[in-house]
Structure 1
Amino acid sequence: MAPDGRDGSAGGPRLVRPYALTSGRTESVVDLPIEATFEVQPSGRSSTWPEGNLSGRIIELCSAADSVAEVSAKLHIPLGVARVLLGDLVTAGHLKTRTTISENTTSDERRELIERTLSGLRAL
């Protein structure tokens, strides 16, 4: 069985319930909006992850600047589970959250984020 709970066949049934991947936790200790992206820290790059390990796969995806939503979709796990797992990696120092929008964000920066979001949705 694959570490993500699949039986190895494409589209096969999930054998591990999503909450088992997070030890029953449903909330991340880190506030992560779905559009948040990450920067892999040196400890994340230097860690040796077992082949197929879910944390290792998340680190690989975050190397390509994937967002919380993209990690969730690409790993076929619920958004809440992705948030908890990503939060664990942030807390452990393997990932750093990149801010997307704050109170000081300019109108141009907000517009650019909306345009990137629309572009990504159109690409789907």
Structure 2
Amino acid sequence: MTENTPGAPPQPGSQWYDQEAGPLVRPYAMTGGRTQSGPTGVHFDLIALVSLDEGAPGADDTSLGPEHRTLIELCRTETQSVAELAADADLPLGVVRVLLGDLLDLGCVTVSRPVPPAQLPDERILREVIEGLRAL
């Protein structure tokens, strides 16, 4: 087997995408061709917070893929948003959503959904509360 020398053009049939990228893995290969996250079809918001459920039996499951384990390790240190997980794992957002669906189904992670803007208190009310507190 001959190896490519640096700066030389890749040989036909070479498995390398380019000299420094390493082997190319298509996103559908990481998700098994799935585009929806789990059987429930949960859609993860970009700002949804994901945290590791330490007591979950599947968190140390050796049958999980390397991408699943990467997401678990990222959540092990601190709670992160879906967007942060995608950036830190260097994976496409769609792939992260599918993988998080798998982890959610296994009970490895918990997801806190963001509060819809309609349920947030009105800014006028908050200003009145602040003024009231200052008056005390």
**CA shift at 1:48, angstroms?**
4.7
Secondary structure at 2:21 match in 1: coil
* CA root-mean-square deviation: 2.5
Answer whether contact 1:37 1:67 (CA < 8 A) is retained: yes
The whole-number CA distance in structure 1 between the counterparts of 2:73 and 2:57 is: 9
Structure-2 residue corresponding to 1:56: 69
What is the match of residue 24 of structure 1? 33
Give runs of aligned pairs for residues 1-124 of structure 1, distance below 5 A: 12-28=21-37, 29-41=41-53, 42-43=55-56, 47-49=60-62, 53-63=66-76, 64-102=78-116, 103-107=118-122
Aligned with 1:97: secondary structure?
strand
Aligned residues: 98
1:104 is matched by which residue type in structure 2? Q
Which stretch shows the higher mean deviation, 75-84 or 41-50?
A: 41-50
Unaligned residue ranges in structure 2 (runs of 5+): 1-15, 124-136
Which amino acid in 2 is paired with 1:38? V
Q: Distance in 2 between matches of 1:59 and 1:106?
A: 34
SS in 2 for 1:12: coil
Query: 1:50-82: per-residue Cα shift (whole Å, max 9, x none)?
Result: 8x8221210121231121111111111111001
Distance of 1:107 and 1:14 partners within structure 2:
51
Q: Give distance in 2, aligned partners of 1:45 and 1:36.
A: 21
Residues 93 and 101 of structure 1: CA distance in aligned 2, closer, same or farther (over 3 Å): same
Distance 1:21 1:107, change over 3 A: farther
1:14/1:86 Cα in 2 relative to 1: closer, same or farther (>3 Å)?
Answer: farther
Mapped to 1, the partners of 2:81 and 2:67 lie a distance apart of: 16
Paired letter, 1:76: D
**TM-score after normalising by structure 1:** 0.66
Identity %: 36
